[in-house]
Chain A
Amino acid sequence: MSDRRRLAALLPAIVAAAVLAVIVRAVWSLPPEAEGLSVAVSRVAAESGIDNKITVVLLDLRGYDTLLEVAVLMLATVAVLSLREDRDALYRRISERAAPVLAALTRLLVPLALVVAVHLVWVGAVRPGGAFQAGAVLGAAGILLALSGYARPQWVGRGAMRSALAVGLLTFLGIAMLSIVAGGELLEYPEQSRKTLILVIEVLLTLSIGASLVSLFLSSASEGPKEAGR
């Protein structure tokens, strides 16, 4: 009996060690220098005028992956929202007026976060940044607002949050299908408006991602325990 229990405790370690051996063997056998795709991407980036190679890969060369990724995020948000135990969780104020330090910090940080988010999405074409990072900062600002008691329920109507969630994916999808209608392939941007279209997609994606992260966090909001002394 205890032998079986000992085996059951040892089995995860054996499996983990086997997986480790396989991956280490695979990594070790790769050559230390390899060309990769960076030269090919640099060429495309130079043509399109966008310096940030990751933005080029994300929204232009592999735009289909990004489209599916946003769809996955929205699907997960819908699923988490539908699992919430409290219908008004999104629109209820989580806490009453916060402690003074938290309130002061919120007043300081949230406008700063908004500026940082706009900067990140704008400068994402030439420097590190982009839609996902800006959306995460926006989401963090929204969570901070909710936690500190500043977010009044009537600011976020039922339609506003859902529109914010939908607009990013719908725009991306629309622009992607437009290129099919215009005779090209999926997500083939026309030459002149490539930069503009990418910027439009990024800005709306930022809004959607921020709304999604805030919804993911707020969907578990509750009255708060009465006996915890808060």
Chain B
Amino acid sequence: MNPATLYPLAGAFLFATGVYGLLARKHLLHKVISGNFLGSGVFLVLIGLAGRSSAESPDPVPQAMVLTGIVVTVALTALALALIKRYHTATGLTTFDPVDEEQL
């Protein structure tokens, strides 16, 4: 099984892990981490598929797209974290629902 199919499958697993974490985990920081996993899963699929042209000189267009994606992800994560901190200062909660807060 060559890397060109192995890594995209790994990316699919990572994306599914992110989906599960986004829906199931209640704490807002866990949701942010899951969001990052969604992005990283897509990047693995993209760059894994980029290796199909040839192993030594992979397709540069998906790699440039992933580079852009990494920068956009960090911008998004920073904004999400800033919002979480302000939300916590305003309400004292770290989840969306105070009911979940007691369960944590």
Contact = CB atoms under 8 A, between A and B. Distances in A.
A79 interface: yes
B9 A36 contact: no
Interface string B1-16: 0101100110111011
Given A32-B52, A76-B75, A80-B78, A12 B63 contact: no
Contacts, number: 131
Nearest to B89: A85
Nearest to A58: B64
Contacts of B64: 54, 57-58, 62, 65
**Interface of B, helix, strand, loop or mixed by DSSP:** helix
Interface in A54-111: 54, 56-58, 62, 65-66, 69, 72-73, 75-77, 79-80, 83-85
Interface string B68-99: 10111011101100110110010000000000
A42 B75 CA distance: 31
**Interface of A, helix, strand, loop or mixed by DSSP:** helix
Nearest to B12: A23
Contact of A13 (B20, B57, B65): B20
A34 B52 CA distance: 6
Given A32-B52, A38-B54, 13 more contacts: A12-B20, A15-B20, A19-B19, A20-B15, A41-B59, A65-B65, A65-B68, A66-B68, A83-B85, A83-B86, A85-B89, A216-B78, A220-B85
Interface of B: 2, 4-5, 8-9, 11-13, 15-17, 19-20, 23-24, 45, 49-50, 52-54, 57-61, 63-65, 67-68, 70-72, 74-76, 78-79, 82-83, 85-86, 89
Interface of A: 9, 11-13, 15-17, 19-20, 23-24, 27-28, 30-39, 41-42, 53-54, 56-58, 62, 65-66, 69, 72-73, 75-77, 79-80, 83-85, 130, 132, 209, 213, 216, 219-220
